[in-house]
Each structure stands twice: as C-alpha cells, then as structure tokens.
Amino acid sequence: MNVGNADRLQIYTEKILSAVKQIGLINKEIMNAGRMEESKCEPVELDALMEGCLGMFQGMFILKGVQVESKIRVQGLRLLGDQFGIEQVFKNLILNAVDAMDGRADKTLTVTVTQPTGPTLVEVTVEDTGWGIREELLNKIFEPYFTDKSPGNGLGLVVIKNAVEKHGGNVLVKSQVGGAEPHLPSVFQPCRPMD
C-alpha cells in the first residue's frame, strides 16, 4: 500500500512467487513417485548446499533460540543428483527439528555429513533436542498427510522419503520420547559417482 516501499514490495513479491513455484515442484515430486529421471541429475556440491540451507534459517534459529552445531566433514564433495530434491530434504529436516524443540529449554540442532563407507555413499544426520516421537507413531510418520503437529500438512517426511529413495538411499529414524535426540539420518547414493 505504501508506494515508498516499492523495492521491499518487489523483494517480497519475488519471494512469494519463488515459494509458489517450489510448492508446485514439491506437489509434482509427490505425485511422481518412483525412480529419479536421469535428466534431473546434475552436479551438486553437498557441503555448499547444506551450508546454504542452514544459512537460510539463520533468522529463525536466532528468533527461536536454537544453537546449531555443523559437523560437515566433507569438503567440495560433488554428487550427481536432483539439487531441488536434496534441498527439500534438508529444509524439511531442519524445519521438523526446529518445530520438535518448541518449548524445550535446551534447543540444539546438530547436522553431520560424513562418508562412512567410501566415495559413493553420503550420510547426513540431523539431530535435535526435541520432545521425541512416540513409538506408536514411528510407523506412521511417512504416511502422506499424517501429522500430529498443528498446524501441519503431513507432507514434509513424505517429500524427504521420496527424494532420498529416488537417490538410491534410505531414511532411518531413531527417537526417544522426552529425551534429547530424535535422529533422522538420510543416506544418499548419487545417481553415479563424480570423478
């Protein structure tokens, strides 16, 4: 409404349009379950992408009092994969971790990236000091539209699982109710190794 803020309005408009585009891509990914299209494989520098995702949420971390421990032990590692899909995995894991710590005194998000078994596998572990997931819900958390959060749409973990499996990987979950570590490691296997 304020003409004097035209530059700020343009920035917000661009962010809104970008978010709408991402929503469309996420919906397409959910509907297109199965193997990743070869055409979507591109070189992805994993540590830079991960640091970018953490940087994107820096304001939220400060606002919510979340301490971040980044243990990215691979530098310059490139894999062939769908950059958008991998970004969505990290963004959703980070958002879930932050949400899980609401109301906790100690809020620590730990992100670890390693290559435990050689050059073709990457393990990304996202840990938080949240409330944990009740055992009876663990086998439901990857079902579309299942959520125990309000507000929530129940699609975040579905997006994560689809994207990881399309990269030939898997998602493991460890959780302790009332404890300090819902644990969501995701193992990525690139479409083919980068030389």
Q: Is 29 helix (H, G, I), strand (E, B) or coil?
A: helix
Summarize pLDDT for 13-25 with one digit per residue, the tens: 887 887 777 666 6
β-partners of residue 188 are: 122
| Residue 176: both structure tokens together | 């302790």
Q: Please report the beta strands in the chain, taking only residues with DSSP state E, as ranges in sequence order.
A: 42-45, 67-72, 78-81, 108-114, 122-128, 170-171, 183-188
pLDDT of the residue at 78: 84
| Rounded CA separation 17/69 (Å) | 32
Is residue 82 within 8 Å of 43, Cβ to Cβ? no
> Within 82-191, where are the H helices?
83-100, 135-138, 156-166
| Rounded CA separation 46/35 (Å) | 21
pTM above 0.85, yes or no: no
Question: Per this entry, what is the length of the chain?
Answer: 195
pLDDT of the residue at 61: 94
Average pLDDT value for residue range 61-68: 94
- Give 34's pLDDT tier (boundaries 50, 70, 90): very low
Domains assigned to the chain: 33-188 (3.30.565.10)
Residue bearing the bigger pLDDT, 141 or 70? 70
pLDDT at 187 over 60: no
Residue bearing the bigger pLDDT, 55 or 189? 55
Q: Is 171 helix (H, G, I), strand (E, B) or coil?
A: strand
